[in-house]
């Protein structure tokens, strides 16, 4: 299928930001449901652009906001610096990616200035962030989607999975939300969710997945619609086929379930 790919701009508080837009060429100017594809910590890289393209081949308009583009992208978060960090992390076991002590041991083996650049970028990527500025950006992109399409759904991966789940508590215009291996909102925030949420998790990704039964119980207690799938042999980022964490069986099943979920609620 031929895909039309472009970058579109929007603004928040007088500052520009951008998003990757993908549509099936054969749809022409026809109004389509929009899937907002929310990035991992790596930004709107080739994997996230590819995920948007996959939704376009399924008949949707897909919009992937670059959450690092508001105003001016910091030098430590440029595509080149992030790509260098991904290459570095692929030399480590995935279970060590989020462990600062293990990462530092591996960084210390690198020559300078590579070690300094990797350490700085990792510090920015893995630092504890207030998600609300990202939610503000995403709400502006929901505004954009509401004026350029039909029903809206959201999906995110890792950091984006958390944001997809959290956005459902802050903006009631999307009709469906998918969280791939992301943390859940607090129970107080869950109380404001009005749309169905579907979560997909790797069984060996214990930091996140071990919380899922309690998340399900909280959502049930609050009267919310939440379903989830856990893939026992998959880890974190099992959907990312550009990383060593990719798990083909989990990704195939989660993709089929995701499309069915969106088709049912946005179709």
Which residues, 6+ apart, have CB-to-CB distance to 212 below 8 Å? 184, 199, 201, 228, 230
Confidence (pLDDT) at 126 = 86
Q: Is the pLDDT of residue 225 over 80?
A: yes
> Can you state the angle between helices 114-126 and 79-89, rounded to 10 degrees?
100
Which domains does the chain show, CATH number per domain?
A: 3-70+131-266 (3.40.50.1820), 75-126 (no CATH)
Q: How far apart are CA 139 and CA 135, in angstroms?
A: 6
**Torsions phi, psi of 86, nearest 5?**
-60, -40
Helix (H, G, I), strand (E, B) or coil at 130: coil
Helix (H, G, I), strand (E, B) or coil at 83: helix
Q: How far apart are CA 35 and CA 152, in angstroms?
A: 6
Per-residue buried b or exposed e for 168-206, using 16+ beta carbons within 10 Å of the residue's own CB = bbbbeebbbbbbbbbbbbeeeebeebebbbbbbbbbbbe
For range 127-154, the mean pLDDT:
95
Return the H-helix or E-strand segment holding 226: strand 226-231
CA 164, chain centre distance (Å): 7
Taking Cα atoms as reference points, which of 230, 235, 236 lies closest to residue 253?
230
Confidence (pLDDT) at 121 = 94
pLDDT digits (tens, 9 = 90+) for 56-74: 999 999 999 999 999 988 8
pLDDT digits (tens, 9 = 90+) for 5-31: 999 999 999 999 999 999 999 999 999
Q: Any bridge partners for residue 61, and if so which?
A: 34
């Amino acid at each position: 299928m031929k895909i039309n790919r472009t970058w579109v701009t929007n603004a928040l508080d007088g500052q520009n930001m951008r998003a990757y837009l993908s549509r099936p060429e054969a749809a022409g100017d026809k109004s389509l449901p929009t899937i907002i594809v929310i990035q991992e910590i790596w930004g709107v890289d080739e994997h996230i652009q590819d995920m948007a393209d996959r939704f376009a081949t399924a008949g949707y308009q897909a919009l992937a906001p670059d959450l690092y583009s508001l105003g001016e992208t910091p030098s430590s978060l440029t595509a080149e610096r992030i790509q260098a960090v991904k290459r570095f992390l692929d030399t480590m076991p995935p279970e060590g990616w989020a462990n600062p002590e293990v990462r530092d041991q591996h960084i210390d083996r690198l020559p300078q200035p590579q070690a300094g650049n990797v350490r700085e970028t990792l510090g920015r990527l893995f630092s504890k962030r207030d998600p609300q500025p990202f939610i503000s950006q995403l709400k502006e992109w929901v505004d954009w989607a509401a004026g350029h399409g039909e029903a809206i759904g959201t999906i995110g991966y890792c950091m984006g999975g958390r944001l997809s789940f959290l956005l459902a508590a802050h903006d009631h215009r999307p009709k469906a939300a998918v969280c791939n291996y992301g943390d859940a909102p607090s129970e107080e925030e869950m109380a404001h969710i009005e749309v169905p949420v579907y979560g997909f998790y790797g069984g060996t990704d214990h930091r996140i997945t071990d919380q899922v039964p309690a998340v399900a119980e909280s959502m049930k207690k609050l009267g919310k619609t939440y379903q989830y799938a856990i893939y026992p042999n998959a880890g974190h980022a099992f959907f990312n086929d550009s990383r060593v964490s990719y798990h083909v069986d989990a990704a195939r099943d989660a993709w089929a379930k995701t499309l069915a979920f969106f088709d049912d609620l946005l179709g």
